Copies of this chain bind each other. A is one copy, B any other.
Amino acid sequence: MITMAEIARLTHVSQPTVSRVLNGNTKVAPEIRERVLACAREHDYQLNALAKGLQGSRTHLLGVLVTDIANGFFADLAKQIEIAARQRGYSIILFNSDYNPQNEQEYLDVVRRYRVDGVLAVPIRETSTEWHDYVKKLDVPVVTITRHAAGLDSFYVDHAAAGAQVAQHLLDRGYRRFLFIGKDYDGKYVGFHRYLAEKGFADATTNRVLQDHDQLRRELEAWYRGGTARAAVFAGNDIYALQVLDIVRKLGLSVPEQVGVIGFDDTSMGRYLNPRLSTVSQPTADMARQAVGWLLDLIEHPGEHTPEEHAFPAQLILREST
């Protein structure tokens, strides 16, 4: 791989001059400029980003930390981030925490090792003080995306509010008993439960973690038989919702008459399911673009700033399943 020094030797100038030509900020004699450019083109010169990064300025690397890239929602997010970053000349180093806090920690070390310019992170828990503190000690800007993190710049949809919207919708549709499938610390569940409690349905709300399809089936059946009021299931994501639909079908129950089902994430498949799946859509592309823009501004115009939290609205996509 050819270097500036090499080009300098070939064109009988000094290395700094080559640097000046290639960066184009300083004035340099036209003849020399041409000679150097020609030589660079001829040998297909590529800047050594490591040397440039070491030298002190930016590395033009962004760390992207997600919980699970195999999840369609995050995959989509990553894609949008990658596009936005590329447009502004940054490359991304991708990390998967796999919902394991230990990995999450280790990745921050990788971030430091490579002197990444900034980080876009989907933290595992919204309220992990350890992680939070660790991030604060980092001297690179970190923007939280998809999750709300107090005291950090964050771009997110208010899951609690979305959960409440779902609750309201289900009540409107006449459902009176509710089941949430997902982690109980999930903001969606918190908002969902709170809203229903305010309306006097605290006892009618249950929360189940999805371990395994067969177990869910047993629990779902028991739950359904356990009451007479009209029942609805709120699934933490569309994949869960799909499984619920399958189980409900097997139980011989009709959707949306006997059981209502609503998902989350607005995965593309929802539109083609039978019945078409009601779900909640997040402005992924918008969030990603704005988060990247914000982060890059932070990077390129450093200085004191107070973290801001940017909430985006969730949108109910109402289809046949409710």
Contacts and interface: CB of A to CB of B under 8 A. Distances in A.
Interface of A: 1, 46-51, 53-54, 59, 61, 64, 68-72, 75-76, 78-79, 82-83, 91-96, 98, 109-110, 112-115, 139, 239, 242-243, 245-246, 249, 268-269, 272-274
A87 to B, nearest CB: 12
Contacts of A54: 48, 50-51, 54
Contacts of A243: 272
Most buried by B among A61, A70, A72: A70
Most buried by B among A50, A83, A243: A50
Contacts of A69: 69, 75, 78-79, 82
A110 B139 contact: no
B47 A113 contact: yes
A311 to B, nearest CB: 24
8 contacts: A49-B113, A49-B115, A69-B69, A69-B78, A69-B79, A71-B75, A78-B94, A269-B269
A93 B92 contact: yes
Contacts of A64: 94
A80 to B, nearest CB: 8
Contacts of A109: 46
Contacts of A72: 70, 72, 75
Given A72-B75, A139-B1, A272-B245, A110 B96 contact: no
